[in-house]
Structure 1
């Protein structure tokens, strides 16, 4: 384990070293790849003065509000629908084709429609993130149900368990590990879609900050936004893994 951590740290040392040397010797123009010093200075400036009159904390708060609301509604709708679709073929026949149709579509392909339907406020952005997060959770739930060992269900039924007890005491616990995998994937997909959601008719958010900076070739601000999104994405995934260890403690033991 220590060796793996050393390799991870070594990889990032090499990346930052190559970044520093590339900018130090002017191999690539700073307008394309700013130096670590320029990025650090831009971060401090944004941290102190904000960007476009809005503090960095406010930008993060607005983006996370959109992400969390969308993820919450994706979880409370995709998990039950995915489990039911995996459990009952007739429900899957109705729902699955619709999910599979929109799932591969690029977000920007239908984002303009969402704006026409729901306006330019947060509702259209949250809906876009919801759709991005919904499909991975739904698919993970179906996959989890279809992989359940039928012996578990038959054993529970032979002991007198009804359908409700089988679902809550056998099906749901068996599906939880894969549901969490789908949840982690969904939040990651939604986070990557955040930039697209904040591209149109937005004046705040980390994704918007990156897009706005690109219009004026502020590559240092773009790097700040990208690094912040990367770090916060790692923290979110780490939080989900922590919850998984606490809530799905039987993972790998059955």
Structure 2
């Protein structure tokens, strides 16, 4: 009797849809969004002009402080097929601009790449902090030995940030079904809902709009259990392969 809400969700049409969409957005975000902050940190660490480095860091950090609601508003305005920035540019070139926000297939790209642009610089801070602990003598010795910039990155920088990167990867994998509700919900519309309906938006609609609190709680618990299992599995694999783990 206590599992009836779980069974109801598992047997519903939305089960496959929400799981698939959540996994697509999450895995896409990890595959693209995990290595890019590392690359940015490595590039920034190699900058020798302090003024240029500071300006570059400020420019890449600033989007992080834009609120999710403002960010979604900007995305909708820029991608508007009638009056958006890109539509006007396309019109000047004699081309038509498609209604991207109405395209289910394009939703995941809009979500992931706008998220990367917003948080790329901020996510690189922890890697820059790890690189700042590298003894300068390593770089001086490698320069004397004739090492190139790429060789310094490969043999000094990457080994230094590898433990940090592995811990963050484990944590991200442990939240594989935890896609933020607010941004997806604000970008969602009736035309892209087949690609934008994820677990968190479905829980919101079931729990707060339809007042099915027991069902929404069951879905949330299922979500948490899956995340914990994935976290334990990834942590186990990381410990066996790299000897780096959370516990």
Could you tell me the TM-score, scaled by structure 1's length? 0.68
Superposed displacement of residue 189, structure 1? 8.0
Superposed displacement of residue 247, structure 1? 5.4
Question: How many pairs align?
Answer: 210
Q: Report if the CA contact (8 A) 1:153-1:166 is conserved.
A: yes
Superposed displacement of residue 191, structure 1? 5.9
2: CA distance, partners of 1:79 / 1:106: 24
Aligned to 1:31: none
Which structure 2 residues correspond to residues 78-89 of structure 1 after superposition, within 5 A? 78-89=37-48
| 1:223 aligned onto 2:223 | no
Aligned to 2:199: 206
Distance 1:181 1:206, change over 3 A: same
| 1:108 aligned onto 2:101 | no
Aligned to 1:20: none
Structure 2 residues without counterparts, runs of 5 or longer: 80-99
Deviates more, 1:209-218 or 1:75-84: 75-84
Aligned to 2:18: 59
Q: Report if the CA contact (8 A) 2:181-2:201 is conserved.
A: yes
Superposed displacement of residue 217, structure 1? 1.0
Could you tell me the TM-score, scaled by structure 2's length? 0.70
Q: Which has the higher contact order (CA 8 A, sep 6+)?
A: 2
Distance 1:173 1:131, change over 3 A: same
User: In the TM superposition, what whole-angstrom CA distance separates every residue of 1:68-88 from its partner, at most 9, and x where no partner exists?
Assistant: 112222124222112111231
1:148 counterpart SS class: coil
Distance 1:142 1:233, change over 3 A: same
Distance 1:160 1:239, change over 3 A: farther
